[in-house]
Every structure is written in structure tokens, then in C-alpha cells.
Chains A and B, each alone.
Chain A
Amino acid sequence: MTAYTKGSGATWVGRSIRRLEDPALVTGRGRFTGDLAAAHWVRFVRSPVASGRIGSIKAPPGAWIVTAGDLAGVKPIRPMLHKFAYRPVAQPILAEGVVRFVGEPLAAVIAASREEAEDVADQVIADISATAAVIDCRAALETTAPPIHAQAPGNVVVEGIVKTPGFDDAWNGAYQVVALETRSRRQNATPLEPRAGHAAFDATTGRVTLTCATQMPHLTRTAIADILGMPENQLRVIAPDVGGGFGQKMSLAPEYVLLVWLARRHKSSFAWTEDRRENLIAAFHARDQYISLQGAFDAHAKIIALKADIVTNVGAYSCYPTTCGVEPLMAMAELPGPYDVRHYECRARGVLTNTCTMAPYRGVSRPVITFALERLMDKAAKRFDLDPVEIRRRNLIDAFPYRTATGLEYDQASYRQTLEMAATLVDLPAFRARQKQARAQNRHLGVGFAAFCERTGYGSPAFAARGMDITPGWETAVVSVDPSGFVEARVGTSPHGQGLRTTLAQIIADEIGVSPDKVSIVHGDTDRAPYGWGTFASRSLVIGGGATLAAARKVRAKLVRIASHMLEAAPEDILLGDGEARVAGTDRSLPIAVLAREAYTQTHRFKGEIDPGLAEQGTYDPPGTFSNACHAAVVEVDIETGRVKLERFIVAEDAGRLINPMIADGQVHGGVAQGIGNALFEEIVYDETGNILTSTLADYLPPTAREIPPIELQHLETASPNSLTQAKGLGEGGAIGAPAAVINALNDALAPFGVEINEMPATPQRIRALLRNAGVPS
């Protein structure tokens, strides 16, 4: 135990203390990008056609408009992968010559207010001659499909292939092969706050400050400086309060590049706040995939081989920095999931289409592959006449560390235990009895399970393995105690709802021996925070938390030395806690504040043995750790209307050590809600010409609180050797397991009718169509 609290001996870590960031946020005192005043407001004129050649763009007389022709010397967004047959396609900041999706920025108009900018944009006339567009990624693979980019003939922009040695022999020895085709339709992450940017020129320094709703402030700075050819020290990027990101705000928005260009060129301030319609049409999309999956099983229902063909629609361009390889390649790498399967063959392709660009969204492909794999397990269970728990029990990995067929190393985890926990909560025999009774009354209940593991908190080697030009991974934190004894941590992670202001303070509090409210966290400002990669990929508490812990331990060590010096006791006898340094077994103590003051103002007393000041830096670049969970859903299907009502939702999860259980619960709740949206509600729909039919929240339907049942949540805490804090990432898991659990439950309910649905979202109309075709009346 590294800390003590008078009387209790408790640590701050592991306690559900209230979130320190919330008082401001829930009383309207948050500071968001859109709150900033600007001299100029920008409105983007967006392409109304999915594919076409730009003739002319005419603005009304006197209007201020910027088009691609004005942006001489500005480079396109061109992320790079050096593997997987990646074709480096480029996206101009404003469309140049051609347009490739509905919503692509064609021009920017600038006016004194947001309203006026919209008035002007309304009058801009773009003469675009439409050319053939392709919307569906399978259609884009056909030889007759128009190429979206010349660099990618055939529209395949990235392709991963894996086949383990001995695969064919294993496959041919199968007792049973179970196959299915899944379809996951397109979604938008719908953060509460859409994207927003504000770029301001400072006449004194000549620098530009870009305030924007980003998850990655430092990389935004690097990327924009590269694109505009400016020294990076001339640009400051601030991520103030950010109203959710879910991945959508980690990819570079071309709009931000233009704002910085305008601010530098015109030495003024320029703001843009995306509206919901723009966000649904032109911010990044995700999850548009087809998976053909086959599993080979032995006679004991043990899976021996998996074969997958994954086709992902990546949209019109490649997102920066991950590239559009992020979905297909993650799907390929992680598809075998929590199961012991030694043989694996997979082809995963990213296919260009005339649709909005794809980017990471909470879970990145894992919601889709988990859906496919867990459907496969349920189908196999039926084939072998096993219940869904038993087939998983037989196949889940149970010994760790475990090296997967694709070469990933799974650390200590609890795949079997979380399955059993979920099964116990469901009480399968009791449920089956209730299900039978209900069926007799023409009510149709179903239960579905989804087990998964999830790679989180992975460092730079994992990104390097993808061949990325930019390999984010490590994190840095600088922890300092000021002369008044208060603590400041400056971190490269960039929280936007995750509660890191609180959890990082809990970690520091235990090391330094002060309460978390004495710790302030500085993040999201490239002038104040050390270079870091921001918050995404369930990484911040693992990597940023690890870096913070490493820095705090160094500060602690120094405090102990100072205390040892001042209290004239051996360092090993010094205890820190409750705001004091104390000599063990005595009543001798000094406040931390006194030690801190000494470290700055009385350094001559250290006689050169202790460096002055009290600030230390820590970095962390871990190999990655795998969280795991089992979700279970109980649904009732209204077979007359196709409505699916969730009766119960159960999560048994293991994300290692919980720093703040309440915050962990909140992360799981939010993820599950998005997963339920994924399964039943949310779908971006294009018509055949590439127009979006779901451009408002009356058409694109995230679930509301009324559609989400109470979530029954249990945690296990398997400490990870791959995490300094012993915590694993859990930001995405809720969204990963929920879709598969819901769809499995739905299929269980539909089983008496002999129909099966392997498409998400499983909308009432799709369910009804299946039932109608099976002769079930409404």
C-alpha cells in the first residue's frame, strides 16, 4: 500500500468518488469551442452530388468565398500505410476538380455571423456535372464500377490476407462447417457536440491558436503544420471541453485545416460550428461491412478453424492518422476473439465508394466481428444441440498468456468466469421455462449471449505492426507539486467525457499522499500539456494513467527523500498520506505543503543531494492488454409489428483493476446504449444516387433512455501484467458486446418461426419482412 488515510488505510484508487469535472459541466459552466466569439464565421458549401466534375462555383456579388483554387501550396490529407497493399489516396482540403461524396466541402464562405454565412452559402451556385456513382462496397468491387481514385483501380484501397500454416488440413478434417453472411449497416457516432473549430491569429506572437473539438490535440497540430507547411511552434491547438467524440473526433477534419489557413492568411479569427445535418452527412461514418464467416468444428463442438471474407466500405477518402485500413485490418486481426482457434484464414478489404469517409467509432470493427462470430457460435450451438452457454464454455480460452493464431498475446483474463457470471444472472433454465410459457400465449422472448475480448491500451509497436506512418502509442505525463503543496499533472491524453480529471487524480493522490481535489489535471492544450496522442482506442487510463503513475512515483520518491532529510528518518520509514509525511511508528510528521515549499525555497539545505523543484516526467508505452466481457440480452419481439423490446441487459466484464467503479459503470452504460442503437435503431441510409436519406435526428435514430433497459453490471478485476496501473481499457467494450447479444436474443425469439436475421440494425420492418415471408400474420 503506497498511501494511507487516517483510520481507514484505504486508497483513493478503487473508490467511486464523484467526478471532479462534473460541477462545471452540469451547471452550464463548461467551455466549448462554439462558445468562443470570432470576427468571422465560416460556412462550408457542400457537394449535393455523390460523384461529379466541378465546372464553376459562383458566389453572389460581394461575397467572400474560398475554393480549392485559392489554396495554392496547401497539401492534401494523405495518411499512409506501408503494408497491406495500401493505396495512398489523397483528400484535398476543398474539393478540387471532382467531388466524391455528398457533403464533401466544395467551398467556404465567410461572413460576420453564422446566420449571414448561411445566407451567403445558400446563394452559391456550384455547377457540377454528375458522373456515375457507386454507393455499395460490393458493387464497387465489380469490374464495371467507376474508379473513385485513379490510385486505386478496382476500388480496393487496402487488403489484408492471412492464412495460418496447416489451415487446409485442419479445415478438411472438420466434422461440421457452419457458415453465415452478416451485414452491418452504416452508422454515425453522433456525439452530443458536433465538430467545431475556432482559429485565431495573435498579432503579438504571430501564432495561430486553433481551438477545436478534437480527441487528439497534438497530432492535429502536427498534421495541420505539415499540410500548411508552417513551423509547428507557430500553432497552438486547444481541445477545451469536448462533448463526446467516440472516435469521430480523432480523425483530422479538413475544415480545421482551412480555419488555420484563413487565420494565418487574414490575421484574424474564424469560427465554424458544424450543425447536426452536416455531422450526419459529412462527419465520419463507420461500420458499413459485409462478413462471410465459416467455422469448422470437431465432433465435440470445439472450433478448429475460422475462415472469413471481410468487405468494408471505407467511403471516399482515407481518414488521418489511422488510414481507412483501421476497420478491415482490425477486423482481420481480432476476429477469432476470445476463442481457442488455431487455424485462421481471412481476407479483409477496404473498398472505396462515393460515400462519406469512414473513421474509427467506439469499438472499431469489433462490434461487427463480434456480431458475426457470436452469431456463428449460436448457429453452431443449434447444429450441435447445445445451449449457447455450453458451446462457449467449450471454446473460450482458459489459460493465459495465450498467443492467438494472428500472433496477438492475450494477457491474464477471465473469459470463462465472465460467461458463467452472465449465465448465472440470466438463469437459463428458468428463462427457458418462462420462454415456453410465454410462447403458449403468443409472446416471444429470447435470450442472447456475446462473449468477447478487446485489445486496449496498446502502445506504439501495435501501430507499427500495421505499417502506419504515424505510430501513436506512448504517453507522457508531467506531475508537479507547487510550493503551496497543490498538485498539477499535465498529460498528453485528452479526455472528453471519460472522467480522467478524476481517475488520474485518484492515481496521483495515492502516490503523493494528498486528496484528489488537491490535484488539477491539465490536458488538451499543446502549449501546456506534453506531446501525447490524445484519447481514443480505450487507451487513456492504461497508457496515460501509466505515464501519470510513473511520474507520480518519481515525485513521491523525491518527497520521501526530502521528508527523510527534514524528519531525520530513513526513507523506508517515511509514509505519505492524508496530506502529510509521517515517520512510521512515531508521531513525527510534516505537511506535504511544507516539504514542497522546501523543495523550491530552501534547496541550499539539501547540500546538492536533491535537485531543486518538484516536477517529474513519466512516459509509458505498453504492449497492450485485453479486456473481456460477456453480455447477455433478454428481449421480447412483437411479431406483429417487428418491434424488439429489451427486457434485461446483463454485463459481466473484466477491465482489470477499477480506478473508479462508478466511472467504469458509466463507460459501460454509454457503450451498451450505443451498441443497442447499433443492433436495432441506427442506420445511415443512402439512396442509389448517393443522397443521404437520414440527415436529421428524426430519421437517424439513436436510442433514448426509454429504449435502454436498466443495465445489470458485474465486474471482475483481473490485474494485467501489461498495465502499470493494472487497469485495462473499457471505453469501447459496452459498444462491442451489446449488438451481438441483442441480435442473438432476437434470433432466439424468432427461432420457432424458422427465420434468422444476420443484419444490423435489425429494424422492425426487416424483422416483419422475414416473418411475413414465413407466413406469420401481423
Chain B
Amino acid sequence: MKPAPFIRHVPSTIAEAVAMLAEVAPQDGRILAGGQSLVPIMAFRLAKPAHLVDINEIAGLEKVTCDGRTLFIRACARHAAFHRPVVDNPLGALLATVAKHIAHYPIRLRGTFCGSLAHADPASEWCLVAATLDATIMAKSIRGERLIAANEFFAGIMSTALREDELLVETRLPLLARDARFGFNEFSRRAGDFAMSAALVVYRLHDGKITEARVGVGGAEANPRRLAEAEAVLEGQTPAAPLFRAAAEAAAAAIDPLEDHQIDAEYRRDLVRAVVRRALESSVRVTHPC
């Protein structure tokens, strides 16, 4: 369980990093950020990149900043950076809630938010956040930079719209409305395991009715995404147990479930039904100070 030989490059600026990436990408060169997914895959020799461009030494890349409307998460911001709210906004509380479900503490100290997006594991909590909140992803290469909408970024299991010479330098999340409510729920066999299904819901209440409903589901399909069918059920309705059941039912019906030796389609739908309903229920129960 030792990786195949590779050369590690250590740029000190983003410009250097993308220049190196452009050079080594054709020889299966990859970016190394936290390494919590890539390194085990290399140890199993499921990936044998000849070059790694290690971005951990680039100054300022671990930052999370906010301009009052948008949260900017730079490429090396670790999962643990979100353990406490990073911003005085419901988004800060949402990210803190979700962060605690990511793997185990040591992994959260090293793994990165942007790395999770680039890796695009179907069960990734951050991918679910990005999809549900319509994140914008900034990709940079020697050819320039471009912004990619989350719903165009994920392109299948562990596959994204990033080109081989592009570095995901930043993820942008819009701040939530001050009165936004959210709920998160995930199911895994053991504490810290990959989610077998996860749901994130966000909405506002206007005169007691749900507006701007977002229902995202992860771990159930090739990529996490918002489920318009479930959102439609909620829109304009008063939060209540039967409504949540109906929305969960709509979500379970809407998905195209991933199947593997552990989980058949019916069980995946069972889990989606449960996690969506529970996420909605927790959105009512919990009030987040911010």
C-alpha cells in the first residue's frame, strides 16, 4: 500500500501553480491540497499521478473571507475552519453544522472544502452544500480564469467540469437571508463514514409560509443536486409534519438512485425519504443564533 513513484512540485504562488499544472497535466499531473482522498487512492494505486502540484505552501490560500454578500472560500481552507461559524450569518451556522459530519476530526484538520468539490465524491457534504446553495466555483489556468455554476460543475461520480490544467482556486457561497432557516440530516453506518444519503434544506418564512425553498440531496445520485419536485411541494405552504412527509416523498420519487452491493434502489429511496424529512423537521426545531 505504497503509491507509485511521483514527483511533488511545490509552488509558492497561484501563478506558479497553474504554470506547473499546465506543464504536468498531460502526464496525469494533479493538484494536492489536503490529500485526504487523493493520497489513499494513490496508496491503493487506483490513481498513479506522475506529478503532484502541492498547493499547501501558497500564502493566503487557506483564507475564508466575506464581502457582506458572498463568502469566499480559498482552495486550502480546511474543513475544520468551519467548526465555528465563519460569518455572522445563518450560512456560518449551516457550515458549522455540516462540517461536524465530515469524516473524523484528524481528517477535518487537513482536508479542504475546495478539494472536496474537485474530488466530487457523490457523498461529499460540501458538494451537497455547493449544489443546494448554488455556489460559484472559480477555476484558474494559464489560459485565464472562469466562474462555473455549481449545477454545471458536477459531471458525474468523481467527475467535474474542471479541465485538467485548471486549479479550483475559490468557491463562492452567497450569504443567506438573515431569517433563513436550514436543516441538515445524513445517514451513515458508523459515525464519520461516507453518507449513504444526506439532505440539506434551506428556506425562509413569509407570513408563516415557506418561500425560497431549497432541498438538496447528496449521496443518493451520481452528484448532489437540488430537487425541484420537493421544493415545489414546500413553496407557499405552512411548515407541518404532513407537508414535510409529502416533500420527502417527492424527493424519494425524484431521484435516480445509485446502487451498489450494500444499497439497492429501494433502500436508497427509503434513506432519501428519511433524511429529507428529518432535515425539514430539524429546520423547525433548531434556531440558529446569528
Q: Is the CB of B262 within 8 A of A765?
A: yes
Q: Is the CB of B45 within 8 A of A122?
A: yes
Given known A-B contacts A769-B267, A772-B266, A701 and B274 have beta carbons under 8 A apart:
no
Q: Is the CB of A277 within 8 A of B1?
A: yes
Q: Report if B284 contacts A (CB, 8 A).
A: no
> Given the complex, which residues of B lie within 8 Å of A696, measured CB to CB?
44
Q: Report if A441 contacts B (CB, 8 A).
A: no
Q: Is the CB of A765 within 8 A of B267?
A: yes
> Given the complex, which residues of A lie within 8 Å of B3, measured CB to CB?
115
- Interface-forming stretch among A26-34, A432-440, A702-710? A702-710
Q: Is the CB of B270 within 8 A of A778?
A: yes
Q: Report if A36 contacts B (CB, 8 A).
A: no
Closest-CB distance, A709 to chain B (whole angstroms): 13
Measured CA separation A115–B261 after assembly (Å): 32
Q: Residues 698-726 of chain A: 1 if any B CB is under 8 Å from the residue's CB, otherwise 0? A: 10010110110000000000000000000
Measured CA separation A704–B189 after assembly (Å): 11
- Interface-forming stretch among B64-72, B138-146, B191-199, B208-216? B191-199
Q: Report if B271 contacts A (CB, 8 A).
A: yes
Q: Is the CB of B271 within 8 A of A701?
A: no
Q: Report if A764 contacts B (CB, 8 A).
A: yes
Q: Is the CB of A119 within 8 A of B267?
A: no
Report which of A114, A118, A275, A704 forms a contact with B190, defined as CB distance below 8 A.
A704
Q: Is the CB of A763 within 8 A of B262?
A: yes
Which residue in chain B gives the minimum CB-CB distance to A694?
A: B261
8 Å CB contacts to A: which residues of B178-198? 187, 189-194
Closest-CB distance, A677 to chain B (whole angstroms): 10
Measured CA separation A706–B101 after assembly (Å): 13
Q: Report if A693 contacts B (CB, 8 A).
A: yes
Q: Is the CB of B270 within 8 A of A685?
A: no
Measured CA separation A641–B268 after assembly (Å): 10
> Given the complex, which residues of A lie within 8 Å of B274, measured CB to CB?
640-641, 778
Measured CA separation A117–B262 after assembly (Å): 34
Which residue in chain B gives the minimum CB-CB distance to A117?
A: B2
Closest-CB distance, B253 to chain A (whole angstroms): 13
Q: Report if B5 contacts A (CB, 8 A).
A: yes
Q: Report if B273 contacts A (CB, 8 A).
A: yes
Q: Residues 738-778 of chain A: 1 if any B CB is under 8 Å from the residue's CB, otherwise 0? A: 00000000000000000000000001110011001000011
Given known A-B contacts A114-B2, A275-B1, A765-B263, A641 and B270 have beta carbons under 8 A apart:
yes
> Given the complex, which residues of B lie within 8 Å of A119, measured CB to CB?
4-5
Q: Report if B88 contacts A (CB, 8 A).
A: no
Q: Residues 639-681 of chain A: 1 if any B CB is under 8 Å from the residue's CB, otherwise 0? A: 0111100000000000000000000000000000000000001
Q: Report if B23 contacts A (CB, 8 A).
A: no
Given known A-B contacts A118-B2, A122-B4, A765-B263, A778 and B193 have beta carbons under 8 A apart:
no
Q: Report if A276 contacts B (CB, 8 A).
A: yes
Q: Report if B152 contacts A (CB, 8 A).
A: no
Given known A-B contacts A122-B45, A765-B267, A681 and B189 have beta carbons under 8 A apart:
yes
Q: Is the CB of B264 within 8 A of A778?
A: no
Q: Is the CB of B267 within 8 A of A768?
A: yes
Task: Tell me if B's interface is mostly helix, strand, loop or mixed.
Answer: loop
Closest-CB distance, A88 to chain B (whole angstroms): 35
Measured CA separation A174–B44 after assembly (Å): 58
> Given the complex, which residues of A lie within 8 Å of B4, measured CB to CB?
118-119, 122
> Given the complex, which residues of B lie within 8 Å of A764, measured CB to CB?
187, 189, 267
> Given the complex, which residues of A lie within 8 Å of B1, measured CB to CB?
118, 275-277
> Given the complex, which residues of A lie within 8 Å of B267, measured CB to CB?
642, 764-765, 768-769
> Given the complex, which residues of B lie within 8 Å of A693, measured CB to CB?
261
8 Å CB contacts to A: which residues of B259-290? 261-264, 266-267, 269-271, 273-274
Q: Is the CB of B190 within 8 A of A778?
A: no
Closest-CB distance, B188 to chain A (whole angstroms): 9
Measured CA separation A640–B5 after assembly (Å): 47
Report which of B5, B187, B264 forms a contact with A641, defined as CB distance below 8 A.
B187
8 Å CB contacts to A: which residues of B231-282? 252, 261-264, 266-267, 269-271, 273-274
> Given the complex, which residues of A lie within 8 Å of B189, measured CB to CB?
681, 701, 763-764
Q: Report if A35 contacts B (CB, 8 A).
A: no
Which residue in chain A gives the minimum CB-CB distance to B43?
A: A275
Given known A-B contacts A640-B270, A641-B274, A698 and B261 have beta carbons under 8 A apart:
no
Q: Report if A687 contacts B (CB, 8 A).
A: yes
Closest-CB distance, A442 to chain B (whole angstroms): 12
Measured CA separation A703–B271 after assembly (Å): 21
Closest-CB distance, B276 to chain A (whole angstroms): 11
Q: Residues 1-13 of chain B: 1 if any A CB is under 8 Å from the residue's CB, otherwise 0? A: 1111100000000
Q: Is the CB of B44 within 8 A of A772?
A: no
Q: Is the CB of A704 within 8 A of B192?
A: yes
Closest-CB distance, A327 to chain B (whole angstroms): 25
Given known A-B contacts A693-B261, A768-B267, A703 and B190 have beta carbons under 8 A apart:
yes
Q: Is the CB of B194 within 8 A of A641?
A: no
Report which of B191, B193, B271 forms a contact with A698, defined as CB distance below 8 A.
B193
Measured CA separation A681–B45 after assembly (Å): 27
Q: Is the CB of A681 within 8 A of B2?
A: no
> Given the complex, which residues of B lie within 8 Å of A707, measured CB to CB?
190-191
> Given the complex, which residues of B lie within 8 Å of A685, measured CB to CB?
261-262
Q: Is the CB of A701 within 8 A of B193?
A: yes
Q: Residues 340-365 of chain A: 1 if any B CB is under 8 Å from the residue's CB, otherwise 0? A: 00000000000000000000000000
Closest-CB distance, B215 to chain A (whole angstroms): 17
Closest-CB distance, B170 to chain A (whole angstroms): 29
Which residue in chain A gives the minimum CB-CB distance to B270?
A: A778
Closest-CB distance, B267 to chain A (whole angstroms): 5
> Given the complex, which residues of A lie within 8 Å of B191, measured CB to CB?
704, 706-707
Measured CA separation A769–B267 after assembly (Å): 7
Measured CA separation A728–B189 after assembly (Å): 36
8 Å CB contacts to B: which residues of A100-151? 114-115, 118-119, 122
Measured CA separation A763–B188 after assembly (Å): 11
Which residue in chain B gives the minimum CB-CB distance to A121?
A: B45
Which residue in chain B gives the minimum CB-CB distance to A706?
A: B191
Which residue in chain A gives the minimum CB-CB distance to B249?
A: A777
Measured CA separation A114–B1 after assembly (Å): 9
Other contacts beyond A276-B1, A703-B190, A763-B262: 9, CB < 8 A: A640-B270, A641-B270, A685-B261, A687-B261, A701-B190, A764-B187, A765-B263, A778-B271, A778-B273
List 27 A–B pairs whose Cβ atoms lie within 8 Å, in order of A's numbering: A115-B2, A115-B3, A115-B5, A119-B4, A122-B45, A276-B1, A277-B44, A640-B270, A640-B273, A642-B267, A642-B270, A685-B261, A693-B261, A698-B193, A701-B190, A701-B193, A703-B190, A706-B191, A763-B189, A763-B262, A765-B263, A768-B267, A769-B267, A772-B266, A772-B270, A778-B270, A778-B273
A residues whose Cβ falls under 8 Å from a Cβ of B: 114-115, 118-119, 122, 275-277, 640-643, 681, 685, 687, 693, 696, 698, 701, 703-704, 706-707, 763-765, 768-769, 772, 777-778
By Cβ-Cβ distance, the 5 closest A-B pairs, closest first, are A275-B1, A778-B270, A706-B191, A115-B2, A640-B274
